[in-house]
A and B are shown apart, each in its own frame.
Chain A
Amino acid sequence: MSAQPGESALAAAARGVSGEAVSFSRLLARRFLRNRLAVAAGIFLVLLALAALAAPLAAALFGAPSQIDLLAIGQPPSLAHPLGTDELGRDLLVRLLYGGRVSLAVGLMAALCAAVIGTSLGLLAGYFGGRLDSLLMRFADSVIALPLLPLLIVLAAVDLGELGIPASIAQSEDVSLYRIVFLIALVGWTTVARLVRGATLSLKQREYVRAAEALGASHLRLMAVHILPNAVSPIIVATTLSVGNIILLESVLSFLGLGIQPPIPSWGNMLTGAQEVIWSNPMLAVWPGLFIFLTVIGFNLLGDGLQDALDPRSTISRRALRTRAAGKSVTPS
């Protein structure tokens, strides 16, 4: 697209159509940066990730996350403990940062696993169609329809020892983290699968794909080289949005005692402890929840901004839209 003849550069710019040649990534960046809320969310998440990475530093200053000090229970904020101490005298800030590591790791890993599973199944279903398609999509429908949380609780309560997994692994500390990643990926792939299937269905009918097919490209090559790269935007958006959801699920399961197990601190299991002292020290229950809330809303706003930037229908700038009569031409959210 370029400026139409007789149109001033300003009017063209207001339509989001620029005269100069702009690379796709520049255009994306420009569209994304226009959404101030999404940019703020992105900056917040980067800062949070950096703070979580620096958790050992904070631990060196204020005490290790599992260092119980029964003489310093429930202290108010001070220089020695910037956010005070919890019900066992552990430094709250250090535990929040370590909890952030867990939440971000679980969220990103599970979202990535779910995206890989969903993309593969969606590609297969959309590309081959027929029986495989209807079977996979009925399966996805059923998974979506089920009451998720009760099911996850049962899955999280399964004894790994009974599945034939050696006790040394089944009872190690880190296993609760990988197990929750696995469980969430197991039920979380459906959104991406449906999006990729939809995109594949329409992409495989395009001329360039038919041409590649006529030239003798294999099924795998058609899917991986010709179809997948064009279906990448919805995958990115859905995966970003799912990170927030996954962090919420992880915190709920950890809170109920079925997710990340103490002594590993997570925002969810910190709230379990705080709930018991809610009458004497309510602030302990405020902080971990606030971190969950801000992180999840951060990922949701970021995903929303990415969606607006990646959606080809959103080339019209928002300022131009505002001046128009309400509701005549809008982009879907």
Chain B
Amino acid sequence: MAFSIFFAITVIVNLSYAVSKKTLHLFEIFFIWMVSNIIHHNFMTIFALNMEMINFNSNSTSYWTMALIRLFLIPILIIWYIDKTQDPKNKKIWKNLLILIPLLIGVEYLATLLDVYVFKKWNLLFSIIEWGAILLVITFLSTCFKNILRKELS
């Protein structure tokens, strides 16, 4: 059930982003997707393996659900957020952040509810700090990449 629910959510989110008007260059989308994957995988492994704050369910459905969330759902939500913040007409950057962080935390807690993860020494505050830090790093790196891209393409 967990896989079906997350697969449906992932398809809907990816499809909606694919058909929406984009501000980001294709290379920026690639860049953010890869950086989100790298940073999120590292954070999760540190929390799970080193700090033992999160446990991953060992059955294969949960395992593939976790892979789906990490590879295709979380990065696309972050890409969409950065895309919106780059839109010159958008004046509500902070409002977008207030939507995105609860959304990402919601994905995590839905995964817990469906037994994909088990939170051990984890609480809501850690989630807020985790996503705040991840978004800060990704936004900074994507701005640096945008400057290089703009210089080399123009």
Tell me if chain B binds chain A: no
Binding site for B on A (CB under 8 A): none
